[in-house]
């Protein structure tokens, strides 16, 4: 009887050298203070703030008022203050919300 040869084990590839860490420069436009419209100021306050802070405060408002849809958490139900910001829509997705809120911010 002929004996079957076992396949040769593969040698491990030589370790790759780590690429030098690139220093990431922050995007100044993202942190630039933006002035909210009067409708948006009723929710987050009237002082100028960066977009990320605006989003943070809107989410705090939504959570505080329980405006996330109970069946689909990606949807936000508008109350009287959010209705003008959402362009009259009674419900928007969280992705639409960001787009609609940005229309209420100016330099």
The domain locations on the chain are 31-106
Cα–Cα dist 80/78, whole Å = 7
> Does residue 4 register a pLDDT over 80?
no
Alpha helices in the chain (DSSP H): 28-31, 38-44, 51-65, 94-102
> Does residue 43 register a pLDDT over 90?
yes
76 Cβ contact list (under 8 Å, min separation 6): 62, 67, 68, 69, 82, 86, 91, 92, 93, 94, 97
Cα–Cα dist 40/34, whole Å = 12
Q: Which residue has the tokens 């329980």?
A: 66
Domain 31-106 has CATH 1.10.245.10: yes
Q: 26 or 73: which carries more pLDDT confidence?
A: 73
Cα–Cα dist 45/23, whole Å = 34
Average pLDDT, the chain: 85
Whole-prediction pTM: 0.70
Cα–Cα dist 45/58, whole Å = 10
């Amino acid at each position: 009887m002929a004996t079957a040869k076992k396949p040769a084990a593969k040698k491990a590839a030589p370790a790759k050298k780590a690429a030098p860490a690139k220093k990431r420069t922050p995007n100044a436009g993202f942190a630039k203070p933006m002035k909210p419209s009067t409708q948006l100021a009723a929710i987050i306050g009237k002082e100028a703030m960066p977009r990320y802070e605006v989003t943070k405060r809107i989410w705090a408002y939504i959570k505080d008022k329980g405006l996330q849809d109970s069946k689909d958490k990606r949807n936000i139900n508008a109350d009287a203050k959010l209705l003008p910001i959402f362009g009259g829509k009674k419900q928007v997705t969280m992705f639409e919300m960001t787009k609609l809120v940005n229309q209420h911010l100016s330099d």
